């Protein structure tokens, strides 16, 4: 087991290095970050400033040296300063990360709550209303890109009915909790219940619906497979009640594939948030990354990509570990 963990760990490490190197390299291929400070055609910046900037950004060194310098700083917790706002990138990310995390967690819970029970239900009551309902949700979630669901949601609930706000919100619970502990200001948490929750409905619904589709499909097919297996037939033949067959015998085994999917879904959200945050102007990491990209602010860009990649590799690493724990065959393959 130790060898397996070590191997997975080394692999995650190299993945991180590779992913950041690619993004770092790409961000330096075209476009001079110094031009951000200058007007059109280099007007407004003196030679000295230009040279100072070159020194500050290490642009006089070859690109691999720039990467290693950046990497060395990152290890010490310094992500650099944003080129446009001159703020510490770690501060910028710190402000946004809770917003994204809260959106992700809520959507994760929602998709699990919808996806798994409905998947079980549609497998158990095959051909019933629930089966058709579940399968239609799976169909829609698979074929409609998140932004289409978002646009239709906005059109119906924000524009036509006027029930929900169409955009801009922020994390209440996580942020309120942390602010409460560090500063003694708990006002954000009640604000969530008096009206803040409305901001969540559309973004969380959009992300959750798309993800619940894959849960649903997987749960349904694995449940059907289990219900068709010999030991379930034996249990039924012994006269075990239908309730016990489903809840005690079938469900436990049928849930293994969807639970392993859970980690992947969480990872999928991290990129899914890029679109949803852009549509709903949700001030999170995804919005930070897209604006950084369009403004060519490469310190923010590499910083947020690094964070996404870290999230990704950590989750994958953990899910690999649990995999190895649950199914010993994987360790030796």
The residues of the shown chain that bind other proteins, judged by CB under 8 A, are: 11, 14-15, 18-19, 22-23, 26-27, 29-31, 126-129, 131-132, 139-140, 142-148, 151-152, 154-155, 159, 228, 233, 236, 242, 270-271, 274-275, 278-279, 289-290, 293-294, 296, 301, 305, 308-309, 312-313, 316
In this complex, which beta carbon is closest to other proteins, that of residue 53 or of residue 149?
149
Q: Counting runs of H as helices and runs of E as strands, what totals does the chain give?
A: 16, 0
Rounded CA separation 284/174 (Å): 13
In this complex, which beta carbon is closest to other proteins, that of residue 126 or of residue 252?
126
Strand partners, 88: 81
Residues in contact with 242: Cβ distance below 8 Å, sequence separation at least 6, in sequence order? 236
CB of 249 to other proteins, least distance (A): 13
In this complex, which beta carbon is closest to other proteins, that of residue 254 or of residue 309?
309
CB of 197 to other proteins, least distance (A): 23
Rounded CA separation 184/174 (Å): 14
For helices 197-227 and 89-124, the axis angle rounded to 10 degrees is: 40
In this complex, which beta carbon is closest to other proteins, that of residue 53 or of residue 245?
245
CB of 193 to other proteins, least distance (A): 29
Rounded CA separation 69/264 (Å): 32
In this complex, which beta carbon is closest to other proteins, that of residue 98 or of residue 246?
246
CB of 177 to other proteins, least distance (A): 28
Strand partners, 84: none
CB of 54 to other proteins, least distance (A): 20
CB of 14 to other proteins, least distance (A): 7
Residue 201 corresponds to which tokens in the numbers above? 């409905």
In this complex, which beta carbon is closest to other proteins, that of residue 127 or of residue 184?
127
In this complex, which beta carbon is closest to other proteins, that of residue 49 or of residue 66?
66
CB of 149 to other proteins, least distance (A): 9
Strand partners, 81: 88
Rounded CA separation 279/261 (Å): 26
Which of 121-136 are b and which e, b meaning 16 or more Cβ less than 10 Å from the residue's Cβ? Answer: bbbbeeeeebbeebbe
Put residue 239 in one of left, alpha, beta given phi > 0 → left and psi -120 to 50 → alpha.
Answer: left
């Amino acid at each position: 087991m130790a060898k397996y963990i070590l191997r997975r760990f080394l692999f995650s490490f190299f993945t991180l290095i590779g992913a950041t190197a690619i993004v770092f390299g790409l961000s330096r291929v075209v476009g001079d970050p110094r031009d951000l400070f200058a007007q059109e055609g280099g007007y407004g910046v003196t030679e000295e400033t230009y040279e100072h900037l070159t020194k500050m950004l290490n642009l006089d060194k070859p690109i691999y040296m720039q990467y290693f310098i950046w990497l060395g700083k990152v290890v010490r917790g310094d992500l650099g300063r944003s080129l446009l706002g001159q703020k510490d990138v770690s501060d910028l990310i710190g402000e946004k990360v809770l917003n994204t995390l809260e959106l992700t967690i809520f959507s994760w819970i929602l998709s699990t709550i919808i996806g798994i029970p409905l998947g079980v239900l549609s497998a158990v009551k095959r051909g019933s209303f629930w089966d058709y309902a579940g399968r239609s949700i799976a169909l829609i979630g698979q074929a409609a890109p998140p932004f289409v669901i978002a646009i239709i949601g906005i059109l119906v609930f924000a524009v036509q009915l006027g029930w929900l706000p169409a955009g801009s919100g922020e994390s209440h619970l996580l942020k309120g909790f942390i602010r409460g502990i560090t500063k003694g200001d708990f006002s954000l948490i009640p604000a969530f219940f008096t009206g803040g929750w409305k901001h969540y409905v559309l973004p969380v619904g959009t992300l959750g619906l798309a993800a619940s589709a894959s849960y649903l499909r997987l749960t349904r097919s694995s449940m059907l497979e289990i219900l068709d297996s010999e030991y379930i037939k034996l249990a039924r033949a012994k006269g075990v009640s239908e309730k016990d067959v489903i809840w005690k015998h079938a469900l436990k085994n049928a849930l293994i594939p969807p639970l392993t999917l859970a980690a992947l879904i969480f990872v999928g959200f991290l990129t899914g948030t890029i679109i949803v945050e852009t549509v709903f102007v949700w001030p999170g990491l995804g919005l930070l990354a897209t604006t950084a990209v369009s403004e060519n602010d490469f310190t923010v860009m590499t910083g947020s990509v690094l964070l996404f990649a870290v999230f990704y590799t950590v989750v994958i690493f953990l899910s690999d570990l649990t995999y190895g724990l649950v199914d010993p065959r994987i360790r030796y393959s």
